[in-house]
Amino acid sequence: QVRVVESGGGLVQPGGSLRLSCATSGTILSADAMNWYRQATGQEREWVAGMTTGGQFKYADAEKGRFTISRDRAKMTVYLRIDSLKPEDSGIYYCKARVRGRDYWGNGTLVSVSP
Q: Specify which residues 57 forms β-bridges with.
A: 51
pLDDT in tens, the chain (115 residues): 899 999 999 999 999 999 999 999 987 667 789 999 999 999 999 999 999 888 899 999 887 799 999 999 888 899 999 999 999 999 999 999 998 889 999 999 999 999 9
Are 113 and 41 contacting, i.e. CB atoms less than 8 angstroms apart?
Answer: no
Cα distances (angstroms) measured from residue 72 to each of 58, 69, 87, 113: 17, 10, 29, 27
Helix (H, G, I), strand (E, B) or coil at 48: strand
